Amino acid sequence: MTCKPQLMSKFLSGLTIALGGGAGFVAINLYKGNEKFYNSFVMPVLHATFDGESAHRLAINMAKYSLLPDFYSKMKDYKNLKSSLWTLEFNHPIGLAAGFDKDGEAVPGLSKLGFSFIEVGSVTPNPQSGNEKPRVFRLKNDEAIINRYGFNSAGHEAVRENLTKSLSNLKPTVVGLNLGKNKASVDSVDDYVAGLEAFGNSKFIDYFVINISSPNTPGLRNIQLKNHLEPFLDKILQTKAKLKITKPLLLKISPDLSEKEKEDIAELVIKSRPNGLKIDGLVVTNTTVSRPDLKSPEASETGGLSGQPLKNLSTQMIRDMHFLTKGSIPIIGAGGVSDGKDAYEKLRAGASLIQLYTALTYRGPSLVSTIVDELSHLISEDGFSSIEEIIGIDAEKATK
Ligand SMILES: Cc1cc2nc3c(=O)[nH]c(=O)nc-3n(C[C@H](O)[C@H](O)[C@H](O)COP(=O)(O)O)c2cc1C
Ligand SMILES: *[C@@H]1O[C@H](CO)[C@@H](O)[C@H](O)[C@H]1NC(C)=O
Ligand SMILES: *[C@@H]1O[C@H](CO)[C@@H](O)[C@H](O)[C@H]1NC(C)=O
Ligand SMILES: *[C@@H]1O[C@H](CO)[C@@H](O)[C@H](O)[C@H]1NC(C)=O
Ligand SMILES: CC(=O)N[C@H]1CO[C@H](CO)[C@@H](O)[C@@H]1O
């Protein structure tokens, strides 16, 4: 896709026409990130002018060329939001979820929005183009997205080059990498192994995520998951040990798992293995294939649903997984977070860190700094002095 110059000029001229020619005014406010200007003007124009995928591409290109406003340098230093996990330091718990910067093109630009970590990917071994367009749908009345991108990826080699190009001078934030599998692959485990081989010792990557969405064979699911997952995890952990990769490896799970599947995953994740091999954390959750009450006409599209309608489902999964793993491994919570209260709820449910994606596309670039500020206030209003004190305090209560 090479639509950048056209899109950019279409975008700017759209704005300019709407403002009666004040291009300088537009440019200055775009760049300064005037919050009101974005929320009442830029985001609506963006949504009216572009379909979901083009708007996404435009945002990536703006980030790539460092055209996004700088909220990072204006953010306060919130002492009660700092944490250290594994061997990484986080200024606050809000990160960007996988799927936004799939090809690792725009980490420095995106970090200007204030994220304390950014997850690149999913990246597949070989390049693949994904499903046919349209494949991204905005559900405006639900503040949600349905996507069936089908994992378009530039592939390991191109993503390695992209990361080297963009991060060699300065790596501004913690960077995770979400490893994917090619559609044509026979055994997914080989693709994750290839991912670890390609990126395991990259100085640009701080943690890894692999996906264990459940096999879509109704009826067979419960029996299969455990039999399938155990050798799968063993193989990945052995590869990691063989390659002497000490960075954390997390599993990302679907919100559509059955009770039995959750229990099985929890059991395998906390199981002790020889040589201290273990999974270091969970990302909870991916998008859902379920369709809770939705108001938008696009609700019937096939694909993974994210945003507001996913929020409580994912928060409940965080509670469950925190409880089932006895709080013994860190959880990155994702699903429908759009304000400080949402983030606070997920931390109390058992998440140590938070990721978001969909809300950014609705609320614009000031979102992270707003959430972080709200979260810091909520924590101190309730008499706590650090996020460590609140992680999981709602989990047991809810599960008993
Ligand atoms: C358009 C789109 C593309 C996504 N692509 C990926 C992906 O490639 N890999 C992945 O692990 N998750 C992907 N996700 C899922 C997000 O990382 C996240 O888990 C999910 O959207 C829930 O968070 P949210 O409600 O804040 O968006 C994607 C989500 C969206 C909306
Ligand atoms: C995630 O896992 C599911 C089930 O194994 C698979 O169908 C899907 O392609 C995987 N996604 C990626 C990005 O590898
Ligand atoms: C996430 O969920 C979607 C469906 O909701 C599925 O197609 C995909 O393979 C899952 N995994 C990843 C890594 O996105
Ligand atoms: C989600 O949970 C909150 C409380 O945590 C509740 O107030 C709200 O009604 C729930 N929303 C839905 C759609 O169930
Ligand atoms: C920033 C950057 O170099 N992006 C490149 C990442 O890789 C893809 C595929 O090779 C290129 O099209 C991008 O330009």
Instruction: Establish if 289 belongs to a structural domain.
Output: yes
- On whether residue 41 sits in a domain, the answer given is no
Q: Whose CA is nearest to atom 10 of ligand 5?
A: 158
Residue 393 has pLDDT above 80, yes or no: yes
Does residue 381 belong to any structural domain of this protein?
A: yes
Band of the pLDDT at 275, cuts 50, 70, 90? confident
pLDDT band at 11 (very low <50, low <70, confident <90, very high): low
375 lines ligand 1 (CB under 6 A): no
Q: What's the rounded mean pLDDT across residues 8-21?
A: 49
Q: Hey, how many other C-beta atoms are within 10 angstroms of the C-beta on 300?
A: 10
Distance between alpha carbon 115 and the CA centroid of its chain, in Å? 11
Ligand in nearest proximity to the CA of 188: 2
> E strand or H helix at 207, and its extent?
strand 207-211
Average pLDDT over residues 155-162: 96
Tell me the CA–centroid distance for residue 13 and ligand 1, in Å.
30
Tokens of residue 198, six digits: 């390609």
First to last CA, the chain: 51
Residue 37 lies in a domain: no
> CA-CA distance, 204 to 174, in Å (whole number)?
9
Note whether residue 59 is domain-resident: no
Alpha carbons within 13 angstroms on the beta-carbon side of residue 289 total: 11
User: pLDDT at residue 386 above 70?
Assistant: yes
Which domain covers residue 259, as residue numbers? 75-398
How many A from CA of 121 to the centre of ligand 5? 13
- Annotation marks residue 214 as catalytic: yes
Instruction: Please say if the pLDDT value at position 135 is more than 50.
Output: yes
Total count of domains within the chain: 1
Task: Indicate whether 247 belongs to any domain.
Answer: yes
3-state secondary structure of 206: coil
- Each residue of 278-321: pLDDT tens digit? 999 999 999 999 999 999 999 999 999 999 999 999 999 999 99
Nearest protein Cα to ligand 4, atom 9? 312
Measured CA to CA, the distance from residue 235 to residue 242 in angstroms comes to 10
pLDDT at 22 over 50: no
The average pLDDT across 203-218 equals: 78
Q: Which ligand has an atom closest to residue 152 CA?
A: 1
Q: CB of 304 closer than 6 A to ligand 3?
A: yes
Residue nearest to atom 6 of ligand 4 (CA): 312
286 Cα: distance to centroid of ligand 3 (angstroms): 6
Domain for residue 46, yes or no? no
Is the minimum distance from the CB of 124 to ligand 1 under 6 angstroms? no
Residue 333's pLDDT is what? 98
Cα(182) to centroid of ligand 2, in Å? 8
More confident residue, 389 or 44: 389
Give the bridge partners for 249, in sequence order: 208
Residue 202 lies in a domain: yes
Mean local confidence (pLDDT), 66-72: 74
Distance of CA 24 to the CA centre of its chain: 34
C-beta of 335 in contact with ligand 1 (< 6 A): yes
355, 119 Cβ separation under 8 angstroms: yes
Q: Does 124 contact ligand 3 (Cβ within 6 A)?
A: no
**Ligand 3 atom 5, closest CA:** 304
Q: Ligand 1 in contact with 315 (CB < 6 A)?
A: no
Could you say which of 153, 214, 338, 366 is catalytic?
214
Q: Can you give the CATH number for the domain in which 323 is found?
A: 3.20.20.70
Whole-number Å distance, alpha carbon 282 to ligand 4 midpoint, is: 23
Written as six digits, the tokens of 374 are: 């709200």
Cβ distance 80 to 385 under 8 Å? yes
- 248-252-256 Cα angle (round to 5): 160
Distance CA 162, CA 217 (A): 37
Of all protein residues, the one whose alpha carbon is nearest to atom 12 of ligand 2 is: 180
Radius of gyration for the alpha carbons in the chain, expressed in angstroms and rounded: 20
Position 18 scores a pLDDT of 45
